[in-house]
Structure 1
Amino acid sequence: MTAQSLPLKGIRVIDYSHFLAGPYMGRCLAALGAEVIKVERPTMGDAGRAHPFFVNGQSGYFLQQNMGKQGLCVNLKDPRGLEMMHKLTDTADVFLENYRPGALDRLGLGYAELSKRNPKLVYCSVSAYGHTGPDSHRAGFGLIAEAKSGIMAMVGNPGEAPPLLRIALGDMYTGIHGVAAVCAALLGRVSSGLGQHIDMALYDCLVSMHEYAVQCYTFSGGTEIPVQTGHDLPQSTLYGVFSATDGYIVIAAQVDDAWKRLAALVGGPAFAADARFHSASGRNANRLEILPVVRTWVSTRTVADCLAQLDAIEVPSAKVQGIDEVVADPQVLARGMLIEQEHPVLGKVKLPNLPFHFSGCDTTITMPAPLMGQHNRSIAAGLGYSAAEIDRMVTDGVLYAESAVK
């Protein structure tokens, strides 16, 4: 393999975001080679620093989403701090923020102000509802978008309250869409010479994620509304979760050929020969006859026995794994999806990698997330501040660093 530079080498990103969607975007851009400067406010910093799991006062949540970044902690309410931020954004290619629409305008860090100073700036905003529309002023988190989007209404068992998804689907999906949009805007800037404002909304992204529900509703004239179905999909028989003697497995045999192989295994020749089940529409119409046969077959066997027999006939299946099994999975390890970093306080830390695999370069981030204010002095010096000016701002609290910073 011929080593190439990372795709975004030479791009400077100012990450003035908190918690998840924005920091995840910054982390991805750092992995792709951008210089990312994480800007925080004294003395608490990014709210993600207060999110578990904690070891020696350090948040694993924060470390995961902010690796590969430099850290600047500056008081923007002090005119000197705001001036430093403006000098920094003047040198930037990208600015990331995820505050409520209008909040940064009042601080002098909105798109109108920063683009006037730096017309090439790509400014990416993330919010719950976006910067337009009747709900744009409302606060929100991923949970709100999951509920509003119709996704939550389709999961869980009929008649029960929908469960929490337990992953930040809205934030992460919006974050990676933000990465794509930023990269596209940077490419567009090559010909136009101008940046632009990218307005990303968690709600928009989750509505766009419906591969089935929206078109099903509109194409049916409003008669078909997907609802909770529990452990299988009525429109994709057979596709669902099944209980073995020592755990759970999933089986995906919704394709005709895979179904025929599965049917012969679990129900014998007569079951496999039943022509009612030989088409997707036929299986869907007769799913209540099909499901008990499969459930009975799985329920009398261990997970390992089920998977061995299903693998032998090439029917896609898998164990429902816990996180302890995921981090030990040979496939996860072979793909480099867990990385170790050397943290200045914690020593070795192990965190999930990003799923980028390029043929010509390695996007694995080796630099851990910054301590609060860890790079104050080097960033300020790079903007032309003298050692005496930096010392004065440290003394006056314009620049702040946590005690662990040397």
Structure 2
Amino acid sequence: MSQQNLPLAGMRVIDYSHFLAGPYVGRCLAALGAEVIKVERPKTGDAGRQHAYFIGNHSGYFLQQNMGKKGLCVNMKDPRGRALMQKLVDSADVFVENYRPGALGKMGFGYEDLAKTNPGLVYCSISAYGHTGPDAHRAGFGLIAEAKSGIMQMVGVPGEAPPLLRISLGDMYTGIHAVAAINAALLGRVKSGKGQHIDLALYDTLVSMHEYAVQLYTLSGGKEVPVQTGHDMPNSTLYGVFRAQDGDLVIAAQVDDAWKRFAQVVANTGGPAGWDADERFHTAAGRNANRLEILPIVKAWVAQQKVADVLAKLDAIDVPCAKVQRIDEVLDDPQIKARGMVIEQDHPALGKIKLPNLPFHFSGCDTTVTQVAPDLGQHNAEIAHSLGFSDDDIAAMQADGVLYAE
């Protein structure tokens, strides 16, 4: 592979965010080559530093979302801290924040304020509901957006409360949309010379994620509303989760050709003889109409075998299938290893640590981040020097707590 510069090399990003959505954006931009400066408040820093899992006094949550960044810890209540921050923003290409709308404006660090001295700035805001609309003022997390978006209501067993999704879908999905929007704004700036404000909401992005539910409702004139279906999809038979003797697996035989191959294997290996010849099941509409007849047969066929045996039969006929894996099995998966989806970093206090990689794969450069997340205020002096502050200035700010480091 011929090595090229990383795509965002030379860009300076101010990551003035906390917890997950904003820090994830900064992490992605750092992997793509930007200089990302993580700005935190004295003593406590990003609230993500207090989020499990802990190894020693280090948060794995923080280590994962803030790798590849430089750390600046500054007291914004002190005029010298505000002046340093203003110089930093004036030197930047991108500013990322995920505070409640209006919070940074009160400090003089809203988009309109910063664009006056840096009109080329791409300013990305992430919030629960966005900066407009009747709910803009409300606080929220990914859980709130997942509930309000209609996604949670479709998950789980009929008649029971929906389960937690157990991954931060709202934060991560909004975060990667922010990465795309920031890069588009930077590209647009090449011609216009101007930056702009990007306003992203967790709620918006999850509503946009509905590939089926919204059009089902609108195009049916409001007659069809998706409901909980448990372990399969009534409008896409056969597509679901099934239990074998020693674990669970998924089968995707909803396409006509795949279904016919699947039905033949079932009929020839313990299922009803001649089942594959039943033409009622040879079309999607027919399978959906007869779903309650099909499911018990498939469940019984899977239940009498081990997961590996079912997978072997279906892999042999090119029917998509997979074991429902635990996280330890995922990390040991040869495919994940081959794709470099777990990275090993050398941490000065913890030794070697392993964290999930980002899914970027470029033909001309490697986006794997080897630099660990910064300690609180680790790069204070380096960043202040880059902005023109003298050694004496920096020493005075350190002594007075304007610049704070662990």
Give the Å deviation of 1:373.
0.4
Residue of structure 2 equivalent to 1:381: 385
Deviation at 1:345, TM superposition (A): 1.4
Match for residue 143 of structure 1?
Answer: 143
Q: Is it true that 1:102 corresponds to 2:102 in the alignment?
A: yes
**What pairs with 1:7-18 in structure 2 (closer than 5 Å)?**
7-18=7-18
Residues 13 and 95 in structure 1, CA contact (< 8 A), matched pair in contact too? yes
* 2:341 aligns with one of 321, 332, 337: 337
Partner AA of 1:317 in structure 2: C
Deviation at 1:119, TM superposition (A): 0.1
Post-superposition CA distance 1:190-225 (Å, at most 9, x none): 000000000000000000000000000000000000
Give the Cα–Cα distance (whole angstroms) in 2 for the partners of residues 123 and 173 of structure 1. 19
Tell whether the 8 Å contact from 1:147 to 1:153 is kept in structure 2 after alignment. yes
> Which residue in the other structure is 2:258 paired with?
258
- Structure 2 counterparts to residues 363-402 of structure 1, below 5 A: 363-402=367-406
* SS of match in other structure, 1:44: coil
Cα offsets for 1:300-335 (capped at 9, x unmatched): 000111111111111100000000101111100000
1:221 corresponds in structure 2 to 221
- 1:219-254 CA-to-partner distances (Å, cap 9, x unmatched) read 000000000000000010000000000000000000
Mapping of residues 1-400 of structure 1, within 5 Å: 1-268=1-268, 270-400=274-404
The DSSP-based 3-state class of the residue aligned with 1:385 is: coil
SS of equivalent residue, structure 1 residue 28: helix
Measure the CA separation in 2 of the matches of 1:387 and 1:76: 20
Read off the aligned partner of 1:145 and give its amino acid letter.
Answer: A
Any idea what the Cα deviations from partners look like across 1:77-110, whole Å, max 9, x if unmatched?
Answer: 1111011000000000000000000000011110
TM-score by length of 1: 0.98
The secondary structure found in structure 2 opposite 1:37 is strand
Per-residue CA shift, 1:30-83, capped at 9, x if unaligned? 000100000000110000000011111000000000000000000001111011
Aligned-partner SS, 2:396: helix
How far off its partner does 1:267 sit? 2.9
Whichever residue aligns with residue 164 of structure 2, its letter is L
CA contact (8 A) 1:15 1:39 kept: yes
- Unmatched 5+ stretches in structure 2: none
Aligned equivalents of 1:79, 1:243: Cα separation in 2 = 63
Residue identity opposite 2:370 in structure 1: T
What secondary structure is seen at the aligned counterpart in 1 of 2:96? Answer: strand
Q: Does the 8 Å CA contact 1:248/1:303 hold for their aligned counterparts?
A: yes
Moved more, 388-397 or 172-181: 388-397
Distance 1:74 1:33 in 2: 24
Q: Which amino acid aligns with 1:13?
A: V
Q: Distance in 2 between matches of 1:40 and 1:47?
A: 9
CA contact (8 A) 1:239 1:254 kept: yes
Distance 1:382 1:34 in 2: 16
- CA–CA distance in structure 2, aligned partners of residues 42 and 253 of structure 1: 55
Amino acid at match of 2:139: A
Determine the C-alpha separation between the residues in 1 that align with 2:59 and 2:258.
45
1:267, 1:293 within 8 Å by CA — same for their partners in 2? no
SS in 1 for 2:265: helix
Name the CA distance, whole Å, in 1 between partners of 2:236 and 2:29: 37
Please give the secondary structure, in 2, of the residue aligned with 1:325. Answer: helix
Of 206-215 and 257-266, the range deviating more from structure 2: 257-266
**Deviates most, 257-266 or 165-174:** 257-266
Listed one character per residue, the Cα deviations across residues 332-385 of structure 1 (whole Å, up to 9, x for unaligned) are 000000001111211111000000000000000010100110000100011111
Aligned pair count? 402
Amino acid in structure 2 at the alignment position of 1:200: L
- How far apart, CA to CA, are the structure 1 residues paired with 2:74 and 2:348? 21
Query: 2:374 and 2:317 mapped to 1: Cα distance?
Result: 50
Q: Deviations over 1:16-43 (max 9, x none)?
A: 0000000000000000010000000011
Q: Does the Cα contact within 8 Å between 1:62 and 1:369 map onto a contact in 2?
A: yes
CA distance in 1, matches of 2:337, 2:323: 17
Work out whether residues 341 and 368 of structure 1, in 8 Å CA contact, stay in contact via their aligned partners in 2: yes
Gaps of 5+ in 1: none
State the TM-score, normalizing by the size of structure 2.
0.98
For residues 302 and 405 of structure 2, the distance between their equivalents in structure 1, rounded to whole angstroms, comes to: 57
Q: Distance in 2 between matches of 1:152 and 1:308?
A: 33
Give SS of 2:322's match.
strand
CA distance in 1, matches of 2:149, 2:55: 36
Off by >3 Å, runs of 4+ in structure 1: none
Report sequence identity in percent. Answer: 74
Structure 2 CA distance, aligned partners of 1:143 and 1:73?
29
Q: What amino acid sits opposite 1:336 in the alignment?
A: G
Structure 1: distance between partners of 2:25 and 2:208: 19
